[in-house]
């Protein structure tokens, strides 16, 4: 019960990493406000939390609209009496359109959701947490924000921004007791990456999924949720302003081939 008595908000909670994290938080004692645009998926997440004896409120919202962000922060306090944790996880991929064919509209939407959304979460959550002298804000970045070739240009740029946001926000909140950290997932099978996994399976090349990382496999949402749970908990009380790659070792090296294999 590492989060016993705590109130957490998880965005992007209708599926994938967000759902796994909402379940993990609830299993460890937190009361969870689950936020997403997918109403049906949110209902499934809330039901799953109920099945394990947890407490959840499903709240549909666009995480990059300031009034809606302010509202989910208010709801956490009104419904559960406080706010201790925000996991700003929601994001979109933006697809793989070649760089020179990308539109300003595509870039604007990816940056709006992936970068402005987490900024707004910090803007509205941090004052509530600072008033109590403690709190944990976790952001989902990506290994695409560390190096090229792990996502499209708008996605990679947005996630590099999230890494910087974790660093700059942690310093901007110096002395408040509010911690801000980021997670950089590698290849994880979620709704966002499902088309790639389905394509590989259809071709019979699923054995090659994750072949570039030392573990030679893709990850699962629960492995990212485990890192989110640690960062949200008091076990990470001295961890601040950091970005953690959870990628099977992908970002530990440059791409290479082994000619004798």
pLDDT in tens, 96-118: 899 999 999 999 999 999 999 99
Q: Is there a domain that residue 97 lies in?
A: yes
Rounded to 5°, angle at Cα 142 from 137 and 143: 135
pLDDT at 224 over 60: yes
Q: Is there a domain that residue 208 lies in?
A: no
Share of the chain above pLDDT 70, in %: 92
Q: Is there a domain that residue 163 lies in?
A: yes
Residue 194 — pLDDT band, cuts 50, 70, 90? low
- What letters, b where the CB count within 10 A reaches 16 and e where it falls short, cover 60-78? bbbbbeeebbebbbebbee
Q: Is there a domain that residue 196 lies in?
A: no
- C-alpha distances (whole Å) from 42 to each of 36, 120, 219 are 7, 21, 23
What CATH number does residue 28 fall under? 3.40.50.720
Q: pLDDT tens, 32-76?
A: 999 999 999 999 999 999 999 999 999 999 999 999 999 999 999
Q: Please give the average per-residue pLDDT across 231-239, as a whole number.
A: 98
Single out the catalytic residue among 72, 87, 155, 238.
155
Rounded to 5°, angle at Cα 13 from 183 and 247: 30
Rounded to two decimals, the pTM is 0.92
Structural domain count of the chain: 1
Residue 255 — pLDDT band, cuts 50, 70, 90? low
Q: Please give the average per-residue pLDDT across 191-215, as a whole number.
A: 73
Residue in this structure with the two tokens 């208010």, named with its chain if needed: 74
* Amino acid 256: pLDDT: 62
pLDDT at 206 over 90: no
Q: Is there a domain that residue 206 lies in?
A: no
Check if 72 is active-site.
no
Q: Which domain holds residue 24?
A: 7-188+221-245
Q: Is there a domain that residue 213 lies in?
A: no
Quick count: other Cβ atoms within 10 Å of Cβ 213? Answer: 19
257 vs 222: CA distance, rounded Å: 30
Q: Is there a domain that residue 210 lies in?
A: no
Q: Provide φ and ψ at 76, rounded to 5°.
A: -60, -40
pLDDT at 258 over 60: no
pLDDT at 188 over 80: yes
Residue 184 — pLDDT band, cuts 50, 70, 90? very high
* Bridge partner residues of 53 (DSSP): none
pLDDT at 254 over 80: no
Q: Is there a domain that residue 234 lies in?
A: yes
Residue 253 — pLDDT band, cuts 50, 70, 90? confident
Q: pLDDT tens, 129-173?
A: 999 999 999 999 999 999 888 889 999 999 999 999 999 999 999
């Amino acid at each position: 019960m590492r989060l016993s008595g705590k109130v957490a908000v998880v965005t992007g909670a209708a599926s994938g990493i967000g759902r796994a994290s909402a379940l993990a938080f609830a299993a460890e004692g937190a009361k969870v406000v689950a936020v997403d645009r997918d109403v049906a998926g949110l209902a499934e997440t809330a039901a799953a939390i109920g099945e394990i004896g947890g407490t959840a409120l499903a709240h549909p919202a666009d995480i990059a609209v300031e009034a809606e962000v302010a509202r989910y922060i208010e709801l956490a306090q009104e419904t559960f009496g406080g706010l201790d944790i925000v996991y700003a996880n929601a994001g979109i991929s933006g697809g793989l359109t070649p760089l020179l064919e990308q539109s300003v509209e595509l870039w604007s939407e990816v940056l709006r959701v992936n970068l402005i959304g987490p900024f707004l979460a910090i803007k509205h959550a941090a004052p509530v947490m600072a008033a109590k002298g403690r709190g944990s804000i976790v952001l989902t970045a990506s290994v695409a924000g560390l190096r090229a070739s792990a996502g499209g240009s708008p996605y990679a740029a947005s996630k590099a921004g999230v890494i910087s946001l974790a660093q700059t926000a942690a310093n901007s909140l110096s002395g408040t007791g509010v911690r801000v950290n980021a997670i950089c997932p590698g290849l994880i099978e979620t709704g966002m990456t499902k088309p790639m996994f389905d394509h590989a399976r259809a071709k019979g090349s699923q054995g090659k999924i994750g072949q570039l990382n030392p573990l030679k496999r893709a990850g699962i949402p629960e492995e990212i949720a485990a890192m989110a749970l640690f960062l949200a908990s008091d076990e990470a009380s001295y961890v601040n302003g950091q970005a953690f790659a959870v990628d099977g070792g992908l970002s530990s090296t440059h791409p290479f081939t082994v000619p004798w294999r």
